[in-house]
Amino acid sequence: MQKKIALIGSTGSIGRQVIRVAERYPDRFRLVALAANTGGGLFAEQVGGIRPAFAALRTEGDALAVPAGVRFARGEGAFEEACSFPGADIVFIAVTGFAGLKAALCAVRAGKDVALANKESLVAGGEIVMPAAEKAGVKILPVDSEHSALWQCLAFDRKAPFSKLILTASGGALRDVPLKKLPYVTAKEALAHPNWQMGAKITVDCATMLNKGFEVIEAMHLYGAPPEKVEVVMHRESVVHSLVAFEDGAVLAQMSYPSMELPIQLALTYPMRLRANVAPLDLASLGALHFSSPDLARYPCFALALACAKEGGDLPCALNAAGEVAVRAFLDGQIKFTQIAEIIEDTLGKLPRRPAESYALLEETDAAARRLARGRLR
Ligand code: MG
Protein backbone atom coordinates (compact mmCIF):
# COMPACT_ATOMS: atom_id res chain seq x y z
CA MET A 1 0.00 0.00 0.00
CA GLN A 2 1.25 3.49 -0.85
CA LYS A 3 1.94 5.82 2.06
CA LYS A 4 0.47 9.25 1.36
CA ILE A 5 2.67 12.12 2.49
CA ALA A 6 1.91 15.80 3.07
CA LEU A 7 5.26 17.57 2.79
CA ILE A 8 5.46 20.88 4.64
CA GLY A 9 8.52 22.88 3.56
CA SER A 10 9.16 21.24 0.19
CA THR A 11 11.67 23.76 -1.16
CA GLY A 12 14.21 23.65 1.68
CA SER A 13 17.21 21.35 2.04
CA ILE A 14 15.27 18.60 3.88
CA GLY A 15 12.14 18.97 1.76
CA ARG A 16 14.08 18.40 -1.46
CA GLN A 17 15.61 15.24 0.02
CA VAL A 18 12.16 13.96 1.07
CA ILE A 19 11.10 14.29 -2.57
CA ARG A 20 14.18 12.34 -3.68
CA VAL A 21 13.37 9.51 -1.24
CA ALA A 22 9.72 9.46 -2.34
CA GLU A 23 10.79 9.33 -5.99
CA ARG A 24 13.18 6.45 -5.30
CA TYR A 25 10.24 4.33 -4.10
CA PRO A 26 7.24 5.45 -6.15
CA ASP A 27 5.37 2.22 -5.40
CA ARG A 28 5.60 2.93 -1.65
CA PHE A 29 5.15 6.69 -1.38
CA ARG A 30 2.93 9.35 -2.85
CA LEU A 31 3.22 13.08 -2.14
CA VAL A 32 -0.41 14.21 -1.87
CA ALA A 33 0.18 17.74 -0.55
CA LEU A 34 3.09 20.17 -0.86
CA ALA A 35 3.50 23.37 1.14
CA ALA A 36 6.16 26.03 1.25
CA ASN A 37 6.55 29.48 2.66
CA THR A 38 7.12 31.80 -0.28
CA GLY A 39 7.33 29.56 -3.32
CA GLY A 40 9.15 30.86 -6.34
CA GLY A 41 10.29 28.87 -9.35
CA LEU A 42 11.31 25.75 -7.47
CA PHE A 43 7.90 25.32 -5.84
CA ALA A 44 6.13 25.70 -9.18
CA GLU A 45 8.52 23.15 -10.67
CA GLN A 46 7.90 20.68 -7.83
CA VAL A 47 4.12 21.05 -8.12
CA GLY A 48 4.30 20.61 -11.91
CA GLY A 49 6.41 17.46 -11.63
CA ILE A 50 4.74 15.78 -8.65
CA ARG A 51 1.14 16.89 -9.25
CA PRO A 52 -0.02 16.62 -5.63
CA ALA A 53 -3.74 16.87 -4.90
CA PHE A 54 -3.10 20.08 -2.97
CA ALA A 55 -0.38 22.75 -3.11
CA ALA A 56 -0.18 25.60 -0.61
CA LEU A 57 1.95 28.69 -0.08
CA ARG A 58 1.87 30.29 3.32
CA THR A 59 2.41 33.87 2.18
CA GLU A 60 -0.32 35.82 0.43
CA GLY A 61 0.31 36.78 -3.19
CA ASP A 62 -0.45 35.90 -6.78
CA ALA A 63 -2.01 32.64 -7.88
CA LEU A 64 0.31 29.94 -9.16
CA ALA A 65 -0.20 28.27 -12.53
CA VAL A 66 -0.73 24.60 -11.63
CA PRO A 67 -1.49 21.53 -13.73
CA ALA A 68 -5.05 20.25 -14.00
CA GLY A 69 -6.02 18.15 -10.99
CA VAL A 70 -3.95 20.18 -8.53
CA ARG A 71 -5.78 22.51 -6.18
CA PHE A 72 -3.75 25.56 -5.19
CA ALA A 73 -4.35 27.97 -2.31
CA ARG A 74 -2.29 30.43 -0.36
CA GLY A 75 -2.30 32.13 3.03
CA GLU A 76 -2.33 30.96 6.65
CA GLY A 77 -5.49 28.88 6.20
CA ALA A 78 -4.02 27.07 3.20
CA PHE A 79 -0.85 26.29 5.15
CA GLU A 80 -2.92 24.86 8.00
CA GLU A 81 -4.97 22.83 5.56
CA ALA A 82 -1.82 21.27 4.10
CA CYS A 83 -0.56 20.42 7.62
CA SER A 84 -3.81 18.60 8.40
CA PHE A 85 -4.51 17.34 4.87
CA PRO A 86 -7.29 14.72 5.09
CA GLY A 87 -5.77 12.56 2.34
CA ALA A 88 -2.38 12.20 4.06
CA ASP A 89 -1.25 9.26 6.21
CA ILE A 90 1.77 11.16 7.48
CA VAL A 91 2.80 14.81 7.62
CA PHE A 92 6.48 15.43 7.00
CA ILE A 93 7.44 18.72 8.64
CA ALA A 94 10.55 20.09 6.99
CA VAL A 95 10.07 23.83 7.48
CA THR A 96 12.63 25.65 9.62
CA GLY A 97 11.97 27.88 12.57
CA PHE A 98 8.97 28.65 14.75
CA ALA A 99 6.58 27.98 11.83
CA GLY A 100 7.18 24.28 12.50
CA LEU A 101 5.34 24.48 15.80
CA LYS A 102 2.05 25.49 14.21
CA ALA A 103 2.55 22.84 11.53
CA ALA A 104 3.16 20.13 14.14
CA LEU A 105 0.15 21.13 16.23
CA CYS A 106 -2.14 21.21 13.16
CA ALA A 107 -0.97 17.75 12.08
CA VAL A 108 -1.21 16.17 15.51
CA ARG A 109 -4.64 17.64 16.25
CA ALA A 110 -5.83 16.29 12.89
CA GLY A 111 -4.74 12.82 14.06
CA LYS A 112 -1.79 12.53 11.66
CA ASP A 113 1.50 10.79 12.33
CA VAL A 114 4.32 13.31 12.04
CA ALA A 115 7.84 12.90 10.68
CA LEU A 116 9.53 15.78 12.42
CA ALA A 117 12.60 17.39 10.89
CA ASN A 118 11.76 20.76 12.44
CA LYS A 119 13.45 20.90 15.84
CA GLU A 120 12.12 24.33 16.79
CA SER A 121 8.63 22.89 17.25
CA LEU A 122 9.88 20.75 20.13
CA VAL A 123 12.33 23.35 21.44
CA ALA A 124 9.68 26.08 21.61
CA GLY A 125 6.61 23.94 22.12
CA GLY A 126 7.58 20.44 23.24
CA GLU A 127 5.57 20.93 26.40
CA ILE A 128 2.38 21.21 24.34
CA VAL A 129 3.21 19.11 21.23
CA MET A 130 4.13 15.90 23.05
CA PRO A 131 1.01 15.79 25.30
CA ALA A 132 -1.15 16.65 22.23
CA ALA A 133 0.41 13.75 20.30
CA GLU A 134 -0.15 11.45 23.26
CA LYS A 135 -3.77 12.50 23.52
CA ALA A 136 -4.37 12.08 19.78
CA GLY A 137 -2.59 8.70 19.76
CA VAL A 138 -0.31 9.69 16.88
CA LYS A 139 3.37 8.98 16.33
CA ILE A 140 6.13 11.59 16.36
CA LEU A 141 8.95 10.16 14.22
CA PRO A 142 12.33 11.83 14.70
CA VAL A 143 14.21 12.95 11.59
CA ASP A 144 17.03 15.01 13.12
CA SER A 145 20.05 12.70 12.63
CA GLU A 146 20.94 12.54 16.33
CA HIS A 147 17.40 11.80 17.41
CA SER A 148 16.95 9.24 14.66
CA ALA A 149 20.16 7.61 15.94
CA LEU A 150 18.76 7.50 19.50
CA TRP A 151 15.46 6.09 18.21
CA GLN A 152 17.34 3.36 16.31
CA CYS A 153 19.44 2.52 19.41
CA LEU A 154 16.17 2.29 21.40
CA ALA A 155 14.83 -0.20 18.81
CA PHE A 156 12.29 2.38 17.52
CA ASP A 157 10.68 2.65 20.96
CA ARG A 158 10.65 6.23 22.23
CA LYS A 159 9.49 5.01 25.62
CA ALA A 160 12.14 2.31 26.12
CA PRO A 161 14.22 2.65 29.32
CA PHE A 162 17.80 3.97 29.17
CA SER A 163 20.30 5.41 31.61
CA LYS A 164 21.72 8.13 29.37
CA LEU A 165 21.26 9.67 25.91
CA ILE A 166 24.59 10.77 24.43
CA LEU A 167 24.38 13.28 21.58
CA THR A 168 27.43 13.82 19.40
CA ALA A 169 28.47 17.27 18.15
CA SER A 170 30.89 18.08 15.35
CA GLY A 171 31.68 21.54 16.72
CA GLY A 172 30.77 23.21 13.42
CA ALA A 173 32.73 25.22 10.93
CA LEU A 174 34.68 27.37 13.41
CA ARG A 175 35.79 24.67 15.83
CA ASP A 176 39.50 25.23 15.13
CA VAL A 177 39.43 29.02 14.85
CA PRO A 178 41.35 30.60 17.78
CA LEU A 179 38.93 32.13 20.31
CA LYS A 180 40.28 35.64 19.85
CA LYS A 181 39.63 35.49 16.12
CA LEU A 182 35.95 34.48 16.50
CA PRO A 183 34.62 38.08 16.53
CA TYR A 184 36.04 38.59 13.04
CA VAL A 185 34.80 35.51 11.20
CA THR A 186 32.56 36.08 8.19
CA ALA A 187 29.21 34.45 7.40
CA LYS A 188 30.94 32.55 4.61
CA GLU A 189 33.42 31.01 7.07
CA ALA A 190 30.65 30.09 9.52
CA LEU A 191 28.74 28.41 6.67
CA ALA A 192 31.60 26.10 5.64
CA HIS A 193 30.56 23.07 7.72
CA PRO A 194 33.18 20.32 7.58
CA ASN A 195 30.77 17.34 7.47
CA TRP A 196 27.20 18.35 6.61
CA GLN A 197 25.43 20.20 3.78
CA MET A 198 22.48 22.04 5.34
CA GLY A 199 20.52 25.29 5.28
CA ALA A 200 22.23 28.53 6.37
CA LYS A 201 20.44 29.01 9.71
CA ILE A 202 21.22 25.54 11.03
CA THR A 203 24.82 25.68 9.77
CA VAL A 204 25.45 28.83 11.79
CA ASP A 205 23.65 27.18 14.73
CA CYS A 206 26.19 24.35 14.43
CA ALA A 207 29.07 26.83 14.57
CA THR A 208 27.67 28.36 17.80
CA MET A 209 26.42 24.94 19.02
CA LEU A 210 23.05 26.56 19.68
CA ASN A 211 21.87 23.71 17.47
CA LYS A 212 23.24 21.12 19.92
CA GLY A 213 21.53 22.94 22.78
CA PHE A 214 18.26 22.75 20.81
CA GLU A 215 18.88 19.06 20.29
CA VAL A 216 19.29 18.48 24.04
CA ILE A 217 15.84 20.03 24.55
CA GLU A 218 14.45 18.05 21.60
CA ALA A 219 15.82 14.80 23.09
CA MET A 220 14.29 15.59 26.48
CA HIS A 221 10.84 15.91 24.90
CA LEU A 222 11.09 12.97 22.49
CA TYR A 223 12.46 10.48 25.01
CA GLY A 224 11.05 11.83 28.28
CA ALA A 225 14.53 12.52 29.63
CA PRO A 226 15.40 14.95 32.44
CA PRO A 227 18.31 17.27 31.53
CA GLU A 228 20.81 15.29 33.63
CA LYS A 229 20.18 12.21 31.48
CA VAL A 230 21.23 13.93 28.25
CA GLU A 231 24.94 14.31 27.60
CA VAL A 232 26.82 15.92 24.71
CA VAL A 233 30.20 14.70 23.46
CA MET A 234 32.31 16.32 20.77
CA HIS A 235 32.98 14.03 17.81
CA ARG A 236 34.77 15.59 14.86
CA GLU A 237 34.05 12.97 12.22
CA SER A 238 30.20 12.94 12.43
CA VAL A 239 30.18 9.19 11.92
CA VAL A 240 28.67 8.23 15.29
CA HIS A 241 25.35 10.07 15.17
CA SER A 242 24.45 9.51 18.83
CA LEU A 243 24.51 6.79 21.48
CA VAL A 244 22.30 5.34 24.19
CA ALA A 245 23.73 4.03 27.47
CA PHE A 246 21.74 1.37 29.29
CA GLU A 247 21.47 0.35 32.94
CA ASP A 248 23.84 -2.62 32.59
CA GLY A 249 26.67 -0.49 31.16
CA ALA A 250 26.05 -1.39 27.50
CA VAL A 251 26.22 1.54 25.07
CA LEU A 252 24.72 1.35 21.55
CA ALA A 253 25.74 3.75 18.81
CA GLN A 254 24.36 4.37 15.33
CA MET A 255 27.06 4.95 12.73
CA SER A 256 27.10 5.90 9.08
CA TYR A 257 28.65 8.55 6.88
CA PRO A 258 26.84 11.87 7.40
CA SER A 259 23.71 11.88 5.24
CA MET A 260 20.25 13.21 6.03
CA GLU A 261 18.76 10.78 3.54
CA LEU A 262 19.12 7.92 5.98
CA PRO A 263 17.03 9.45 8.81
CA ILE A 264 14.57 10.97 6.30
CA GLN A 265 13.97 7.62 4.61
CA LEU A 266 13.83 5.67 7.86
CA ALA A 267 11.11 7.93 9.27
CA LEU A 268 9.03 6.91 6.23
CA THR A 269 9.91 3.22 5.92
CA TYR A 270 10.44 2.19 9.57
CA PRO A 271 10.51 -0.47 10.91
CA MET A 272 11.71 -1.55 7.47
CA ARG A 273 15.14 -0.58 6.22
CA LEU A 274 15.47 -0.12 2.46
CA ARG A 275 18.45 0.74 0.30
CA ALA A 276 19.41 4.42 0.63
CA ASN A 277 21.91 6.61 -1.13
CA VAL A 278 24.55 6.17 1.60
CA ALA A 279 27.99 4.66 0.97
CA PRO A 280 28.92 1.58 3.04
CA LEU A 281 30.91 2.59 6.12
CA ASP A 282 34.62 1.77 5.80
CA LEU A 283 35.98 1.83 9.35
CA ALA A 284 39.47 0.69 8.35
CA SER A 285 39.93 3.65 6.06
CA LEU A 286 38.55 6.02 8.70
CA GLY A 287 41.21 4.64 11.07
CA ALA A 288 40.17 6.55 14.19
CA LEU A 289 37.15 8.32 15.66
CA HIS A 290 37.67 11.11 18.18
CA PHE A 291 35.66 12.18 21.22
CA SER A 292 36.10 14.98 23.77
CA SER A 293 34.13 17.22 26.15
CA PRO A 294 32.49 20.43 24.87
CA ASP A 295 34.30 23.69 25.67
CA LEU A 296 31.64 26.03 27.09
CA ALA A 297 33.91 29.09 26.71
CA ARG A 298 34.02 28.52 22.96
CA TYR A 299 30.27 27.87 22.75
CA PRO A 300 28.39 30.35 25.00
CA CYS A 301 25.15 29.78 23.01
CA PHE A 302 25.32 26.11 23.97
CA ALA A 303 25.70 27.04 27.66
CA LEU A 304 22.69 29.38 27.38
CA ALA A 305 20.62 26.62 25.78
CA LEU A 306 21.51 24.15 28.54
CA ALA A 307 20.32 26.69 31.12
CA CYS A 308 17.04 27.07 29.18
CA ALA A 309 16.70 23.28 28.98
CA LYS A 310 16.86 23.08 32.79
CA GLU A 311 14.42 25.92 33.34
CA GLY A 312 11.82 24.94 30.68
CA GLY A 313 8.53 26.87 30.42
CA ASP A 314 8.53 29.45 27.65
CA LEU A 315 12.27 30.15 27.99
CA PRO A 316 13.38 27.73 25.23
CA CYS A 317 10.81 29.43 22.97
CA ALA A 318 12.42 32.81 23.68
CA LEU A 319 15.86 31.28 23.12
CA ASN A 320 14.78 30.07 19.69
CA ALA A 321 13.25 33.44 18.72
CA ALA A 322 16.25 35.49 19.86
CA GLY A 323 18.53 33.02 18.07
CA GLU A 324 16.63 33.38 14.79
CA VAL A 325 16.92 37.18 14.90
CA ALA A 326 20.59 37.17 15.91
CA VAL A 327 21.65 34.59 13.29
CA ARG A 328 19.74 36.45 10.56
CA ALA A 329 21.55 39.66 11.57
CA PHE A 330 24.91 37.86 11.49
CA LEU A 331 24.18 36.41 8.03
CA ASP A 332 23.20 39.91 6.85
CA GLY A 333 26.50 41.32 8.11
CA GLN A 334 24.81 43.46 10.79
CA ILE A 335 26.55 41.95 13.81
CA LYS A 336 29.70 40.00 14.67
CA PHE A 337 29.64 36.24 15.18
CA THR A 338 30.28 36.60 18.92
CA GLN A 339 27.34 39.03 19.27
CA ILE A 340 24.90 36.19 18.53
CA ALA A 341 25.36 34.90 22.09
CA GLU A 342 25.28 38.42 23.57
CA ILE A 343 21.96 39.25 21.91
CA ILE A 344 20.41 35.97 23.03
CA GLU A 345 21.63 36.38 26.61
CA ASP A 346 20.41 39.95 26.80
CA THR A 347 16.99 39.03 25.41
CA LEU A 348 16.52 36.14 27.83
CA GLY A 349 17.52 38.36 30.74
CA LYS A 350 14.80 40.89 29.93
CA LEU A 351 11.86 38.52 29.48
CA PRO A 352 9.51 37.30 32.21
CA ARG A 353 9.34 33.50 32.60
CA ARG A 354 5.98 31.93 31.99
CA PRO A 355 4.75 28.34 31.76
CA ALA A 356 4.41 27.05 28.17
CA GLU A 357 0.71 26.41 28.48
CA SER A 358 -0.66 27.22 25.01
CA TYR A 359 0.30 28.03 21.44
CA ALA A 360 -1.11 31.55 21.91
CA LEU A 361 1.19 32.18 24.87
CA LEU A 362 4.21 30.87 22.99
CA GLU A 363 3.34 33.08 20.05
CA GLU A 364 3.42 36.05 22.43
CA THR A 365 6.75 34.98 23.88
CA ASP A 366 8.15 34.45 20.38
CA ALA A 367 7.06 37.95 19.29
CA ALA A 368 8.30 39.62 22.50
CA ALA A 369 11.71 37.92 22.23
CA ARG A 370 12.03 38.95 18.57
CA ARG A 371 11.15 42.55 19.43
CA LEU A 372 13.76 42.69 22.19
CA ALA A 373 16.42 41.02 20.06
CA ARG A 374 15.75 43.36 17.14
CA GLY A 375 15.97 46.33 19.50
CA ARG A 376 19.53 45.25 20.31
CA LEU A 377 20.52 45.45 16.63
CA ARG A 378 20.05 49.18 16.38
MG1 MG B 1 21.07 17.31 14.16
* Same-domain status, 117 and 19: yes
Asked if pLDDT for residue 221 goes beyond 80, the answer is: yes
Q: How far is the CA of 64 from the centre of ligand 1 (A)?
A: 34
User: Do 14 and 88 belong to one domain?
Assistant: yes
Q: Residue 17 has what pLDDT?
A: 96
pLDDT band at 313 (very low <50, low <70, confident <90, very high): very high
Cα–ligand 1 centroid distance for 147 (angstroms): 7
Question: 164, exposed or middle or buried, with CB in 10 Å at 0-12, 13-18, 19+?
Answer: middle
Segment 245-257 mean pLDDT: 98
Residue 307 located in a structural domain: no
Q: What is the pLDDT of residue 62?
A: 86
In the structure, ligand 1 is a single-atom ion and the residues with CB under 5 Å from it are: 144-146
Q: pTM value? A: 0.96
- Is it true that the peptide bond before 271 is cis, omega within 30 degrees of 0? yes
Residue 128 belongs to domain with CATH number: 3.40.50.720
Say what the pLDDT of residue 199 is. 82
Does 291 share its domain with 153?
A: yes
* 217 Cβ contact partners less than 8 Å away, ≥ 6 residues apart: 122, 123, 126, 305, 308, 309, 316
For residue 212, the enclosing domain spans 149-255+267-295
- Does a structural domain hold residue 262? no
Predicted confidence at residue 309, as pLDDT, reads: 97
Q: Which of 108, 142, 176 is the last residue of a domain?
A: 142
Q: How far is the CA of 53 from the centre of ligand 1 (A)?
A: 31
Whose CA is closest to 347, among 298, 308, 309? 308
pLDDT band at residue 243 under the 50/70/90 scheme: very high
Question: What digits encode the pLDDT tens for the residues 168-207?
Answer: 999 999 999 999 999 999 999 999 988 877 788 889 999 9
Per-residue pLDDT at 283 exceeds 90: yes
Q: Give the three-state DSSP class for 278.
A: coil
Among 107, 43, 52, smallest CA distance to 79 is for 107
Considering the domain architecture, whether residues 243 and 167 belong to the same structural domain is answered as: yes
Measured in Å, residue 263 CA sits from the centre of ligand 1 at 10
Q: Distance from the CA of 378 to the center of ligand 1, in angstroms? A: 32
Distance 196 CA to ligand 1 centre (A): 10
Q: Separation of 274 CA from ligand 1 center, angstroms?
A: 22
Q: Do both 31 and 65 map to the same domain?
A: yes
Q: What is the pLDDT of residue 242?
A: 98
Of 90, 125, 142, which closes a domain? 142
pLDDT of residue 193: 83
H-only helix segments in 139-242: 145-153, 187-190, 200-208, 210-223
| 1 pLDDT tier (thresholds 50, 70, 90) | confident
Q: Is residue 304 part of a domain?
A: no
Domain tally, the chain: 3
pLDDT of residue 198: 78
241 Cα: distance to centroid of ligand 1 (angstroms)? 8
Does 169 lie in the same domain as 284? yes
- Output the pLDDT for position 194: 80
